[in-house]
Amino acid sequence: MVTLLLACLWLPAIQAGVSSHMQVAHIMPDVVLCVVVIWSMLIGGTEALLVGFFAGLILDLVSGNPLGVTALALVTVSLLTGNWRRGLRRTNPILQSVAVFIASLVYYSVLLLVIDSLDAHVAWWDVLLTVAIPSGLLNVIIALPLSAALHRTATWLNGPIISVR
């Protein structure tokens, strides 16, 4: 439980602080998204779901987004990747990186859907082409080292992780 609390507090701080220095063409990596996706694939269950929800609320408070939008997007991604892990080699960093890319597109689609429903008209294709896809590619780059670190952390906390296949 302490680990969960620390993750909820530190991940948004890392994303807000460190990610701003990792910008590429004004696109920042989504550290919280990557951690939620990889942790969902490694462990599944409620841990990644709770981290996504509470870290998303903190990110909404910091970023000025409507409260709950990021939390909803991260919970959606956590549920999807938690279900994907059942049929995949969940410890494979390449599959985790592919999942991070797909989850990035889902994440931004949920954000756009909610923001568009709040009467803030959004140019969907422009945002998908200029933000979601480049951000997804940047997330893939940071997913590889995160995958190794999170795999070690999960093994340390929960014992050896046995892959499905």
pTM: 0.85
Per-residue pLDDT tens over the stretch 33-57: 998 998 888 877 688 888 889 889 9
- Identify residue 103 by its one-letter amino acid code: A
pLDDT the model gives residue 85: 60
- Looking at the structure of the chain, the number of domains it has is 1
112 part of a folded domain: yes
User: In angstroms, how far is CA 35 from the centroid of its own chain?
Assistant: 5
On whether the CB atoms of residues 72 and 114 are closer than 8 A, the answer is: yes
- 91 in a structural domain: yes
In a domain, 15, yes or no: no
The SS3 call for residue 16 is helix
Domain assignment of residue 11, yes or no:
no
| Residue-range definition of the domain harbouring residue 49 | 32-156
Residue 107 inside a domain? The answer is yes
Please indicate, yes or no, if residue 163 is contained in any of the structural domains.
no
**Cα three-residue angle 31-137-6, rounded to 5 degrees:** 10
Is 8 part of a structural domain of the chain? no
Question: Quick check: 70 pLDDT over 80?
Answer: yes
pLDDT of residue 94: 87
